[in-house]
């Protein structure tokens, strides 16, 4: 049994916590481009490079498109690669995100979640990463700076696992997390280094008929990122889906391995339930809102309301079974979306949660709350109103308004 | 061995195993295919190739086949230079950390004119500014061939393409070919050169020089495409010669900003009476057919005038005194 190691308490904003985790994770190449609210990550990392504190090639690229291309190619060459972005930067990467997952490049990326233009807005919401949910990336969302730090370290282990080999993005809410100073317990350098280890490669068959590690290596020439037509493309895509399924187990394993050294875990790694055991009404959310929600649930419990919370830590792969069993006894569920799917009848998390509940024996009522767009603050009393609404739904026995907007001007 | 002592004789070339293998799906008479084969003959050791989307990528990598005997990566259309940046950065740090066995690995990025003049120019400019050690090869067939012969910034004035057709009112492409190699020279990079596959020895010597240089090198290679130019597949290499002889595509190199004509163009400079009229080159190519009709006379004169002006400017840059024929 490994023992929980002694850790250093540091005051770090979310972005700094990410940069610190990257510094400790023996990353070979960082290729990144600045954008608010991710900037601190690149700046902080540049300082580490300038001060000789990391053994990393920092490629200060001329765009996010190139950041992702360089991350993919570095990864294909065998390097451990990291990048970070937000909003417009992530949108600019869109094309390359599919290439990263399709090339099975285990790139890790921090996304300081931010609204998309227009109108221009630099504050936090999930429009940027939600728009990339079908790009083949694993998506995790952090509740606080501590989780951002922990998740980045875990992300390398998840991405590079040979049963997975998929890129991972870790979301941290713009400003709310990226720029807010919190206490973060940091593991010692050597512990992180050992935890992430050195990259491993699967053996594949080369064109020369040899088996060799899957990377660009002049000793074993390999053609990567080829054209695959009607006869093969489909199989490539199916394999990515299998890798996503495998990731469900790997994320849980990494979460518990990490708990052994750090003493911290996030539910089962996929979802984290809060007061759900006997809950009748529950909300589902991702990111920093979960923190506020927990205090709201505490208050409601004090008032005798059987309220609970399900934090969706991993959104891709969607933890279907974990969500179903966590909500097994819940009668009414509010799904929270910090994002819109225009004309789509609700937000993306709502779509997916409601869809996976279709097959359960006794379906709960499900409503959608769209909130916090463009960084709009959501108060505990507004969050409380969600539970009150769920209670009245239970009383009335029906859902009147399935899609609601929280804290919106009339 | 440096390029100075390097004597690549026909025999050497023939004996060196191909790294760009036959069996690819390029059209008969494909200029770029010849260019690729020659360039890969000039490599000096362990090499990683990355390539932009385009004809050559598509014809050489149809899964589960490949024409590449070296490690090869494609990611997208506009990413040849950003791919090279990541590969070079990875090699550098992994060498330092003892994670690769090779003493040195060369990196070559290939892109067509679309992937260079147009959609790829930002990544190229950025990679060169950052000073990555790689050779960027532009194989210029003067249009987007892979998607069906659309115009690019490298399509010459007057050429008919599917997005600059020679119509009743507009006679093909109105704009001029972007001086891409000059743009690269303006980056103050260590090595820039132009080359034509007819002068194969000149071409491969330049490849070798580009690899030997520390830092970024840019090689602009003329690459006739019979399919897109609507020309005789048997004449691709002949057009590669005529383009130089007419000064439509002079060959030169710029070493640390010092510009110098290469021998085939130098000979034209020394004996201006040998400079052929552009019509010799344009004739026979379907994309210029409309220039040889009565209403195309002015366009043809224009092309001659622009070619002469550009040639004069190049002569000045190379410190040659323009001589009149
Ligand atoms: C972002 C993007 N836009 C457009 C395309 C479609 N496309 C693929 S290849 C190509 C043209 C390639 O032209 P060029 O670089 O000159 O190479 P060639 O095919 O002529 O060898 C285009 C437009 C693409 N693949 N990606
Ligand atoms: S279209 Fe042109 S460049 Fe493309 S394969 Fe055919 S000849 Fe070569
Ligand atoms: Mg072209």
B3 found inside a domain: no
For residue A340, give every residue at least 6 positions away whose Cβ sits within 8 Å of its Cβ, in sequence order, or none.
A127, A347, A370, A373
| pLDDT of amino acid B4 | 58
B324 found inside a domain: no
Cis amide prior to B64 (ω within 30 degrees): yes
| pLDDT of amino acid A370 | 98
User: Two tokens at B10?
Assistant: 């026909």
| pLDDT of amino acid B324 | 60
> Which residue ranges in chain A fall short of pLDDT 70?
1
Eight-class DSSP state of B27: P
pLDDT tier at B322, thresholds 50, 70, 90: low
| pLDDT of amino acid A3 | 85
Query: CB distance B129–A207 less than 8 Å?
Result: no
Domains (ranges, CATH) in chain A?
Answer: 8-201+231-262 (3.40.50.970), 271-406 (3.40.50.920)
Percentage of residues of chain B with pLDDT beyond 90: 94
Listed in order, strand segments (DSSP E) in A293-396 are: 307-312, 314-316, 332-337, 365-370
Measuring CA to CA, which residue among A162, A151, A121 is closest to residue A338? A121
Q: Output the CA torsion B61→B151→B265→B307 (10° steps).
A: 180
Q: Which domain holds residue B126?
A: 10-317
Interface subset of A 191-220, CB within 8 angstroms of B: 198, 207, 216-220
Best of A104, A212, A218 to mutate (most B CBs within 10 Å, chain B): A218
B2 found inside a domain: no
For residue A291, give every residue at least 6 positions away whose Cβ sits within 8 Å of its Cβ, in sequence order, or none.
A143, A144
- Whether the per-residue pLDDT at B147 is higher than 70: the answer is yes
Best of A62, A206, A215 to mutate (most B CBs within 10 Å, chain B): A62
Query: CATH number, domain at B232?
Result: 3.40.50.970
| pLDDT of amino acid B8 | 78
Query: CB distance B97–A218 less than 8 Å?
Result: no
SS3 annotation, B156-224? CCCCCECCECECCCCECCCCCCCCHHHHHHCCCCCEEEEECCCCHHHHHHHHHHHHHCCCCEEEEEECC
The total number of structural domains in chain B stands at 1
Q: Which ligand has its closest atom nearest to the C-alpha of B228?
A: 2
| pLDDT of amino acid B320 | 92
| pLDDT of amino acid A410 | 84
| pLDDT of amino acid B10 | 86
* CB-ligand 1 contact for B190 (6 Å cutoff): no
B241 found inside a domain: yes
| pLDDT of amino acid A2 | 72
Measured from the Cβ of residue A398, the count of other Cβ atoms closer than 10 Å reads: 8
- Whether the per-residue pLDDT at B2 is higher than 90: the answer is no
User: Two tokens at A367?
Assistant: 């409503």
Q: Classify the complex by whether its ipTM is higher than 0.90, answering yes or no.
A: yes
Report pLDDT digits (tens) over A135-180.
Answer: 999 999 999 999 999 999 999 999 999 999 999 999 999 999 999 9
């Amino acid at each position: 049994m490994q023992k929980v190691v002694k850790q250093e308490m540091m005051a770090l904003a979310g972005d700094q916590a990410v940069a610190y985790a990257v510094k400790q994770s023996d990353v070979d190449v960082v290729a990144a481009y600045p954008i608010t609210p991710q900037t601190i990550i690149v700046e902080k990392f540049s300082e580490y490079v300038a001060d000789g504190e990391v053994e990393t090639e920092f490629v200060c690229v001329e765009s996010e498109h190139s950041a992702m291309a360089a991350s993919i190619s570095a990864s294909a060459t065998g390097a451990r690669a990291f990048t970070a972005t937000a909003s417009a930067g992530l949108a600019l990467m869109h094309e390359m995100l599919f290439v990263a997952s399709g090339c099975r490049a285990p790139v890790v990326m921090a996304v300081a979640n931010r609204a998309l233009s227009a109108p221009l807005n630099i504050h936090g919401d999930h429009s940027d990463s939600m728009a990339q949910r079908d790009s083949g990336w694993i998506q995790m969302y952090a509740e606080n700076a501590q989780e951002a730090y922990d998740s980045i370290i875990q992300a390398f282990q998840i991405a590079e696992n040979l049963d997975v080999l998929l890129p991972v993005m870790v979301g941290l809410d713009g400003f709310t997390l990226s720029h807010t100073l919190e206490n973060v317990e940091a593991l010692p350098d050597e512990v992180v280094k050992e935890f992430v280890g050195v990259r491993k490669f699967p053996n594949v068959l080369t064109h020369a008929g040899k088996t060799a590690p899957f990377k660009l290596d002049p000793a074993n020439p390999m053609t990567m990122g080829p054209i695959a037509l009607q006869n093969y493309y489909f199989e490539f895509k199916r394999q990515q889906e299998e890798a996503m399924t495998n990731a469900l187990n790997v994320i849980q394993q990494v979460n518990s391995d990490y708990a052994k050294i750090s003493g911290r875990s996030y539910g089962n790694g996929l979802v984290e339930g809060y007061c759900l055991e006997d809950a009748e009404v529950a909300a589902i959310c991702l990111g920093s809102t979960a923190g506020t929600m927990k205090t709201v649930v505490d208050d409601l419990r004090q008032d005798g309301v059987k309220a609970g919370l399900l934090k969706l830590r991993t959104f891709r792969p969607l933890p279907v079974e974990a969500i179903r069993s966590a909500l097994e006894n819940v009668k009414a569920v509010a799904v929270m979306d910090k994002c819109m799917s225009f004309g789509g009848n609700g937000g993306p998390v709502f779509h997916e949660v409601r869809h996976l509940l279709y097959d359960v024996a006794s379906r709960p009522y499900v409503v959608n709350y769209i909130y916090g767009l463009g960084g709009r603050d959501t108060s505990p009393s507004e969050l409380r109103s969600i539970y009150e609404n769920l209670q009245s739904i239970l009383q009335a026995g029906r859902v009147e308004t399935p899609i609601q907007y929280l804290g919106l001007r009339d | 061995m440096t390029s100075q002592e390097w004597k690549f004789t026909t025999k050497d070339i023939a004996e060196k195993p191909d790294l760009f293998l036959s069996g690819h799906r390029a059209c008969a008479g494909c200029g770029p295919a010849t260019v690729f084969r020659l360039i890969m003959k000039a490599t000096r050791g362990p090499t990683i190739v990355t390539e932009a989307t385009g004809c050559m990528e598509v014809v050489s990598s149809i899964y589960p086949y490949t024409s590449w005997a070296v490690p090869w990566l494609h990611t997208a259309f506009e990413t040849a230079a950003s791919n090279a940046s990541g590969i070079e950065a990875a090699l550098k740090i992994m060498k330092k950390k003892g994670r690769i066995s090779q003493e040195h690995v060369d990196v070559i990025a290939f892109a067509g004119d679309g992937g260079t003049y147009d959609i790829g120019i930002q990544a190229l400019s950025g990679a060169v500014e950052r000073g990555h050690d790689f050779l960027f090869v532009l194989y210029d067939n003067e249009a987007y061939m892979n998607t069906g012969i659309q115009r690019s910034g490298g399509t010459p004035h007057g050429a008919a393409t599917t997005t600059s057709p020679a119509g009743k009112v507009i006679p093909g492409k109105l704009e001029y070919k972007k001086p891409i190699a000059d743009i690269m020279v303006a980056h103050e990079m260590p090595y820039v050169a132009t080359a034509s596959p007819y002068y194969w020895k000149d071409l491969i010597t330049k490849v070798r020089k580009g690899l030997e240089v520390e830092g970024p090198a840019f090689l602009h290679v003329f690459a006739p495409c019979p399919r897109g130019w609507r020309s005789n597949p048997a004449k691709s290499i002949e057009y590669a010669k005529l383009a130089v002889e007419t000064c439509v595509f002079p060959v030169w190199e710029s070493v640390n900003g010092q510009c110098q004509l290469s021998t085939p163009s130098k000979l034209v400079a020394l004996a201006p009476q040998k400079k052929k009229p552009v019509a010799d080159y344009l004739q026979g190519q379907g994309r210029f057919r409309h220039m040889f009709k009565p209403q195309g006379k002015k366009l043809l004169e224009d092309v001659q005038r622009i070619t002469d002006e550009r040639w004069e400017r190049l002569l000045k840059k190379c410190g040659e005194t323009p001589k009149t024929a």
